[in-house]
């Protein structure tokens, strides 16, 4: 208990009492301060500890799945169905979206199958409106070579659309005498056998706003597809020759993949008008073999390869996406798309495509 000075005593007699009180006060204050500071220090230490635990935990999770975010190894094999421990495999090669690049994701899948000797059959899963003439022809060539080099059973499963260039690449799965090789789902859109070089004439709009094309060119045909000038008859004849050549190639590929049309070319000529067909119409006209889903196409591949469903592992492939790519997709400038669209509109590029707007088409490798 703190002693209090007695006011009735002289000052010198009260001095000891004051000194005692002074010695006791700091102790009380010290205890109070320590009691106030300790909770804050404890909270700070706990906060830092939680931060480091979360940080290192997050790093561990990323490292555990780093192979997904690392695309340096290309595509990855994924289990689809069947016997996960089986040695023999049936590979699914997916062709999805517009076919604009012959050296892209589809080619990676083909190379992976070509190098994997345990793959005994292939199912082509096609969901595509087509694409560039060169890209479609290159993928057809690669798939055909894969089938012939490895003597692999190859069956096509058409998704929502397998038209134009999508139908073109399906011809790599050549029709066999005793087995059909092309399956279309009941709602599949196919056909669109033909070639297009898009051209847009903006001269009327430019005239309305008093704008003229004053380009300096090296020759009279340098601006054949320019939307800022009227196409001349000479330019149109040049481009028509190019289209006819690509169209002839398309029909030759169909005749090779569907021998019926080699024997009856007039039937193919009647179908190759650019018209799209339903699955039923395509089956009736010999463009596809059967109406069925992926499972039926898989069963056909197993039957052709004399494989037991319980003794094979069905696999597919996926392409990992890096974190930088994810960020890049979100930050892609709109101007890049606009420039590409403008260049496509003015470039003499032909398409096996079921649309006249190739610049709006896109390819999309599957992601997990």
Residues with a known catalytic role = 164, 222
Contacts of 184 (CB under 8 A, 6+ apart): 158, 162, 190, 279, 282, 283, 288, 290, 291, 292
Output the six-digit token pair for 144: 């055909």
The tokens 């002693």 sit on which residue? 3
Q: What is the DSSP-derived secondary structure letter of residue 173?
A: S
Contacts of 231 (CB under 8 A, 6+ apart): 199, 201, 224, 225
Phi, psi of 162 (to 5 degrees): -145, 70
Q: How many residues does the chain have?
A: 368
CA angle 122, 120, 99 (to 5 degrees): 20
DSSP string covering 193-223: -S-B------HHHHHHTT-------SSTTTT
Rg of the chain, C-alpha, whole Å: 36
DSSP string covering 286-297: TSSSEE--HHHH
CB 139 within 8 A of CB 95: yes
* Dist CA 203 CA 19 (whole Å): 104
Q: Could you tell me the CA-to-CA distances from 149 to 17, 88, 127, 145, 180 in Å, in that order?
A: 109, 18, 25, 6, 20
**Dihedral sign (CA 83, 89, 90, 92):** positive
Type and span of the H or E element at 35: helix 11-64
The tokens 């119409």 sit on which residue? 281
Output the six-digit token pair for 246: 């690509």
CA angle 59, 60, 61 (to 5 degrees): 90
């Amino acid at each position: 208990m703190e002693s209090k000075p007695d006011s009735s005593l002289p000052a010198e007699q009260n001095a000891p009492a004051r000194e005692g009180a002074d010695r006791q006060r700091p102790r009380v204050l010290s205890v109070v301060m320590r009691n106030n500071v300790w909770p804050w220090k404890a909270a700070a230490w706990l906060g830092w500890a939680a931060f480091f635990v979360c940080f290192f935990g997050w790093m561990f999770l990323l490292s555990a799945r780093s192979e997904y975010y690392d695309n340096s190894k290309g595509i990855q094999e994924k289990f689809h169905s069947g016997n996960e421990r089986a040695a023999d495999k049936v590979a699914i090669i997916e062709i999805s979206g517009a076919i604009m690049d012959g050296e892209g994701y589809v080619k990676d899948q083909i190379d992976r199958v070509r190098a994997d000797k345990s793959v005994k059959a292939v199912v082509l899963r096609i969901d595509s409106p087509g694409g560039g003439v060169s890209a479609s022809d290159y993928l057809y060539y690669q798939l055909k070579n894969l089938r012939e080099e490895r003597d692999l059973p190859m069956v096509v499963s058409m998704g929502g659309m397998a038209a134009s260039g999508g139908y073109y690449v399906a011809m790599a799965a050549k029709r066999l005498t005793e087995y059909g090789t092309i399956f279309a789902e009941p709602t599949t859109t196919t056909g669109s056998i033909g070639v297009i070089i898009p051209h847009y004439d903006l001269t009327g709009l430019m005239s309305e706003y008093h704008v003229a094309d004053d380009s300096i060119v090296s020759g009279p045909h340098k601006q054949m597809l320019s939307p800022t000038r009227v196409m001349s008859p000479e330019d149109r004849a040049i481009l028509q020759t190019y289209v006819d050549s690509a169209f002839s190639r398309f029909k030759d590929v169909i005749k090779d993949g569907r021998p019926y049309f080699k024997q009856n070319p007039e039937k193919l000529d009647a179908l190759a008008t650019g018209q799209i067909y339903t699955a039923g119409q395509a089956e009736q006209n010999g463009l596809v073999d059967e109406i069925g889903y992926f499972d039926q196409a898989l069963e056909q591949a197993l039957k052709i390869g004399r494989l037991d469903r319980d003794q094979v592992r069905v696999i597919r492939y996926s392409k990992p996406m890096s974190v930088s790519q994810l960020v890049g997709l979100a930050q892609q400038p709109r101007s890049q798309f606009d420039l590409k669209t403008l260049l496509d509109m003015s470039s003499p590029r032909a398409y096996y495509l079921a649309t006249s707007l190739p610049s709006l088409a896109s390819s999309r490798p599957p992601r997990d």
